Amino acid sequence: MSKRILIVGSGGREHAIAKALDQSPQVDRIYLAPGNPGVLANTQKTQLVAIDPGDFDSLLGLVDQEEIDWTIVGPEKVLEAGIVDAFRQAGQTIVGPSQAATQIESSKYFAKQVMAQAGVATGSFRLFNQDKRDEVEDYITSLPLPIVLKKDGLASGKGVYICQTHEEALSKAQDLLDTPDQDLIVEEFLDGEEFSHFALVNESHVISLGLARDHKRAYDGGKGPNTGGMGAYSPVTDQDQALSQEIVDQIVQPVADQMKDLGQPFTGVLFTGLMRVNGQFYVIEFNARFGDPETQVLLPRLETDLVDLLQAHLNQAEAQVDYRPGSSLGVILASAGYPGQVDDGKDLNWAGEVDQANLVYSGVAENQGQLVTKGGRILMVQAMDASLQASRQQVYDILAKQDVEGSFYRKDIGL
């Protein structure tokens, strides 16, 4: 039967999910609450509904009224606020973790405890609260450089500080401890190759969606502040399938089993951020949702209908994930100043024809029938071609035509 699906969220990740579902013959209508107007530029079955993602009553009202079959949640904030619990109580089918299970992302300390119990490798760490100022100083002074500091809570990838000197670490640690209700994690620096793994997890049932890699720093050469992500590509190596299996066996499955044993089973998308050091995977973090911008490059690779994968996930049924051959790569066009303050309302001009199929919109609004910028990450240009090199070329050829005042993008994604 043809499905009606609601996607909660407004960014590029949500647009990418909508694009994938739009291609499925099993999907009848796609609702985005609130989505962004760029979504309408390259999808057929979508419609935007002006409901705030935090307004669960109105979302449930929409689901009732439109006879929506499944809801998929993008942003972590909504998960942390308990949307999945609210939908389950109302008897609605939703893809995402409960509020309790979302702690795997929202509390780094919770995640560390689960990993310790499950025997999963991660950087060694200590947690400090405001009463432990003196101990922080002693501890930081005793550590080798660089020193990793993290806030214990949701930070959209922007809550990590890698300090190159003890002075910098001490001063940053005091700053973080001055923030009310904010514990501090001091973590061992892991020096290796970074991977992101995506899986649909339903209690002990795991479907691996494979690997992607994003570029978190704002500027070329990995310089500048950490952002939500400036570009991504997938697959990451020619060994992705073997590596994904290793990651599922060593990390995702034990963590899923442990959360089930704890009485806080995880359901939804489990995104594992990993560092491979001397052949061994260490977990950097878990996220309880699809990544942004990883989803924009990962989903176009799927040959298997996303609806079939979601159905298998919900039914805990066997699933075969097939990929189209080739590599997918995407680069984010961002507003000047991102990840800090930006100016909105710039026209989205292109010098020449651009195929909308290559665009995934995130920070855009409509002004008199035209798309304008609204936010830090404006859009992704994404392409899939026979090789990473060929998809890079396509993407940068398109980006060369953009003419958005004050925007910037990294020139070295996938290099």
Q: Which stretch binds ligand GLY (CB under 6 A): 114-122, 285-293, 308-316, 376-384?
A: 285-293
Instruction: Please state the closest distance from residue 229 (CB atom) to ligand GLY, in A.
Output: 4
Q: Which stretch binds ligand GLY (CB under 6 A): 128-136, 252-260, 290-298, 399-407?
A: 290-298
Q: Is 49 in the site for ligand AMP (CB under 6 A)?
A: no
Pair of tokens at residue 264:
């806080």
What number of CA atoms fall less than 13 Å from residue 127's CA on the CB side?
A: 12
Q: Which is nearer to ligand GLY, 228 or 265 (CB)?
A: 228
Instruction: Please state the closest distance from residue 291 (CB atom) to ligand GLY, in A.
Output: 4
Q: What residue 291 binds from ligand GLY, ligand AMP, none (CB within 5 to 8 A, per partner kind)?
A: ligand GLY
Query: Site map for ligand GLY, 107-146, x if CB under 6 A?
Result: ----------------------------------------
Among 120, 214, 272, 329, binds ligand GLY (CB under 6 A): 214
Among 4, 15, 216, 392, binds ligand AMP (CB under 6 A): 216
State the angle between helix axes of 306-315 and 12-22 in degrees (0 to 180), rounded to the nearest 10.
100
What number of CA atoms fall less than 13 Å from residue 170's CA on the CB side?
A: 12
Among 228, 235, 300, 363, binds ligand GLY (CB under 6 A): 228
Q: What residue 190 binds from ligand GLY, ligand AMP, none (CB within 5 to 8 A, per partner kind)?
A: ligand AMP
Instruction: Please state the closest distance from residue 213 (CB atom) to ligand AMP, in A.
Output: 10
Q: Is 160 in the site for ligand AMP (CB under 6 A)?
A: yes
Phi, psi of 69 (to 5 degrees): -85, -50
- What would you report as the CA-atom Rg of the chain, rounded to the nearest whole angstrom? 21
Among 85, 152, 187, 294, binds ligand GLY (CB under 6 A): 294
Q: Is 210 in the site for ligand GLY (CB under 6 A)?
A: no
Q: Which is nearer to ligand AMP, 34 or 123 (CB)?
A: 123
- Give yes or no for a cis peptide into 225 (omega within 30° of 0): no
Pair of tokens at residue 148:
């990793």
Q: Is 292 in the site for ligand AMP (CB under 6 A)?
A: no
Query: Site map for ligand AMP, 116-145, x if CB under 6 A?
Result: -------x----------------------
User: Hey, what amino acid is at 158?
Assistant: K
Q: Is 291 in the site for ligand GLY (CB under 6 A)?
A: yes
Provide the b/e sequence for 221-247 (b: ≥16 CB within 10 Å).
eeeeebbbbbbbbbbbeeebeebbebb
Residue of 413, 354, 347, 415 lying closest to 378 (CA atoms): 347
Among 292, 312, 313, 333, binds ligand GLY (CB under 6 A): 292
User: Hey, what amino acid is at 98?
Assistant: S
Q: Which is nearer to ligand GLY, 24 or 226 (CB)?
A: 226
Q: Where on the chain is the footprint of ligand AMP (CB under 6 A)? A: 123, 148, 157, 160, 162, 187-190, 194, 216, 226, 273, 284-285
Q: Where on the chain is the footprint of ligand GLY (CB under 6 A)? A: 157, 214, 228-229, 287, 291-292, 294
